[in-house]
Amino acid sequence: MRAARSLIAALLVAPPPFLQEGQGRHGKLIGWWPGVMPSHREVIAAHMIPLRFHSDWTGDLTDGPRLTDLACAQGPAGQATALLLVERLALGMSVYRRRAVQYLSATGDLPAAAMGAEFGRRMRHSWLPLAAFRKIMEDFVHEGAHREAWAMITAALPHLMPAAGERSGRRLVGFLTFARQTARRIGATGEIPEVTAMAGRKGSNRAVLECRALRDLLSPP
């Protein structure tokens, strides 16, 4: 126990200068974290966040096997874990990223709502194309993670609804159709206020019609 405490204490202080040079903050030590703190997934993720723009000879310090090791740790998965997963998935699906989300989905630990909100904010600020988000959601559905995909879609949709007077693009219409199909597959219910508000607008453009169809599906009489 004393040895374990000393290792944890060593991780919670600034690393020696020789490890910082060329490696970025905790450098190679980041690979130790899941093994030393296997029951504190969110703590590990929070300390990985400052390293997400650094790399070493093995590659990105927060990607590859390190991301999979994080997913396989135990403990709550919250905003820090969601941020790391979103940033990696936004770059495209890889073997390790797929393994990470598959494991978290299978164990029920995927922070889907937090991930969806993070995806939504990035799309709202044009940091992530809607087409890329749809591709990620299609991958989840293809893997059988329909409910996880729907949880992310539900959290992202409020950020995608155009403001009054703002035009809705063709890609949004297509995504709303995909969202409705996903909701129907799992029998989803429950109002999404922003979708309901969009459905209540005057006019009959395709985005409004799709929002009405989704609203009616989620709120059956």
Are 104 and 192 part of one and the same domain?
no
Angstrom CA distances, 189 to 28, 79, 119, 144, 218, stand at 46, 25, 22, 19, 4
Question: Sign of torsion, CA 159 163 183 178?
Answer: negative
pLDDT for residue 57: 44
Are 107 and 132 part of one and the same domain?
yes
Are 171 and 137 part of one and the same domain?
no
* Structural domain contains residue 48: yes
Are 39 and 56 part of one and the same domain?
yes
pLDDT for residue 54: 65
pLDDT tens digits for range 186-214 = 999 999 999 999 999 988 889 999 999 99
* Structural domain contains residue 210: yes
pLDDT tens digits for range 16-28 = 554 454 444 555 6
pLDDT for residue 113: 97
* 123, 159 contact by CB (below 8 A): yes
CA dist., res. 96 & res. 107, Å (int): 17
Given a cut of 50, the residues of the chain with pLDDT beneath it are: 18-19, 21-24, 57
* 173, 137 contact by CB (below 8 A): no
* 85, 101 contact by CB (below 8 A): yes
Residue closest to 83 by CA, chosen among 42, 52, 115: 115
Residue 206's domain comprises 165-220
Domain boundary among 128, 143, 160: 160
* Structural domain contains residue 2: no
* Structural domain contains residue 23: no
Give the chain's domain count. 2
Are 116 and 171 part of one and the same domain?
no
The pTM is what? 0.84
Are 198 and 133 part of one and the same domain?
no
